[in-house]
Amino acid sequence: MKHAERKMQFLFALRSKGVTDARVLSAMEEIDRGHFVKGLFENRTYEDMPLPIACGQTISQPSVVGLMTQALKVQPRDKVLEVGTGSGYQAAILSQLARRVYTVDRFSRLVREASAVFRKLDLSNVTAFTADGSHGLPDQAPFDRIIVTAAAEDTPGPLLAQLKIGGIMVLPVGQGQTVQTLIKVVRTETGYDYDEIRPVRFVPLLEGLGKE
């Protein structure tokens, strides 16, 4: 199948799963997932499924990336924090929508490899750090938007504290690998509003730096 045809099918699959925001679809058309999928799974790049990457992590399925990005409602002037760089695919999508993207991962290998792809694609508004993402990035806070691509048992307090008033955070929460829910948190003048989006499955959010 020709590349253009595969891309059409890819975008059609995203729409059919509920990704309808024009800016998000345009970003996902612009950023080719193929840059972030290596080795054995390259031929499955455009399928709507999670795929294994280094360090025992995964690249999320495109429809989940799209739905999380859509729920985040990123504006062109926003400063965004991503917790869980992984392959770098989600951060690259965000780079098309936000003014600045900071992304952190506990595995230095993933940060190195993702940074190399960001340079290759000339995504100069993305900065990746090796850090314990459960603590966020206090030096750069506060953030307009925060996205977490690993599941915590509860919404991490340090991340809530680094969200601007009016800011939005999207993350999976839940116990273990089985029951997780994607939620959207909006910080208000008086506290936080929570909305459930859909059931999901993500790797767990772990404290500390990863052993490679």
Looking at the annotation, which residues are catalytic? 60
Spell out a b/e string for 55-87, using b for 16 or more CB atoms within 10 Å of the CB, else e. bebbbbbbbbbbbbbbbbbbeeebbbbbbbbbb
Distance CA 114, CA 107 (A): 11
In the block, tokens 């850090």 appear at: 131
Residue 74: phi and psi, rounded to 5, are: -70, 135
Tokens in use for 21? 């925001």
Helices (H), 73-132: 89-95, 108-120
Closest CA to 88 of 77, 78, 102: 102
Token readout for 176 is: 């273990």
Query: For the chain, what is the largest distance between any 2 Cα atoms, rounded to a whole number of angstroms?
Result: 53
Which residue is associated with the tokens 């459930």?
A: 196
Q: Rounded to whole angstroms, how far apart are CA atoms 51 and 44? A: 8
